[in-house]
Amino acid sequence: MFWIQVRTIFITGLPEDVKERELQNLLRWLPGYEASQVNYKGEKPMGFALFSSAQLAIAAKDALQEMVFDAESKSVLHIEMAKKNLFVKRGIVADSNSYDQSKRLRTGGDYSHSAYTTPPPFHPPPAPVWGPHGYLSPTPPYDPYGGYPVPPVPMPTPSPVPAPSSYVPVQNTKDNPPCNTLFIGNLGENINEEELRGLFSAQPGFKQMKILRQERHTVCFIEFEDVNSASNVHHSLQGAVIPSSGSIGMRIQYSKNPFGKRKDSNHPIASPGANGAPPAMTYQ
């Protein structure tokens, strides 16, 4: 007489309307899974699952123990080792001692709740298959190149944000009430527009800029998203010296009116005053 290795688990706690396919879809991901069936003859459905070895069956038992199978019906699985193996013949799950030979899908034998008998001492303990938090192996990191060697693409070095060369104290006693538009004065005749735009466009809230070159001097109007953004620039860049402007520090004031509007009208105006509203601009 030889000892038969039991590699079948006995599953209870299934909902009454469970389908065999639902149980198969749960078990098919477990290592060593071979076949399963649901027995509907008792008061509650009972499931059986056959694995390729006793070690994998025990590992499956531990992984499925107390698992919530159906949250709606609050079905919690209880797993034990079966007393005998499920018999699979020509792809059909059956058992030689089945009490329903006509359907060949019911497993016979006594599958009442009982403690699993420990195998003989010569059996090695089952190897760990799953981690403590579940039975699924961790998903490997996503590889967008499908394993093909792809040389790294060098990323362009971002150009540095223009910064003033220095700061010079500026007399700014006649300022206007805060608004979202700034008037920039004290710009040299050779001021570089791209240099000026690079400095202000990097500021948070920047919206648009307009440079007006006149016979005697060059001025600039800059609109921001809100008054707070304009106020921050008014404070942080006051007296800043731009290299192309020479050694003169910028004088930053609030415009008399928001960008493109008169103080007493909603119509845009054509030309600015000394520190008036800038001409209306079309947003790009």
Q: Is 191 exposed, middle or buried (0-12, 13-18, 19+ CB in 10 A)?
A: buried
Q: Which numeric CATH code is attached to 166-254?
A: 3.30.70.330
Decide if 1-138 and 166-254 have a common fold: yes
**In sequence order, what E strands does the chain have?**
8-12, 33-39, 46-51, 68-70, 75-76, 78-81, 87-89, 92-94, 166-167, 181-187, 206-213, 218-224, 240-241, 251-254
Amino acid (one-letter) located at 191: I
CA dist 237 and 249 (Å) reads 9
Domain residues of the chain, as ranges?
1-138, 166-254
pLDDT tens for each residue of the chain, 284 residues long = 556 789 999 999 999 999 999 999 999 999 999 999 999 988 899 999 999 999 999 999 999 999 999 888 889 999 999 999 988 765 555 443 433 333 333 344 444 444 445 444 444 555 555 555 445 555 667 666 666 676 776 777 655 656 676 777 877 778 888 999 988 888 877 788 888 888 888 899 998 988 888 777 788 889 999 989 988 888 888 888 888 777 778 888 888 888 766 655 444 444 445 565 565 544 33
What integer pLDDT is reported at residue 269 of this predicted model?
42
- The token pair at 30 is 């477990």
CA dist 193 and 48 (Å) reads 80
CA dist 169 and 159 (Å) reads 29
What integer pLDDT is reported at residue 41 of this predicted model?
87
CATH topology of domain 1-138: Alpha-Beta Plaits (3.30.70)
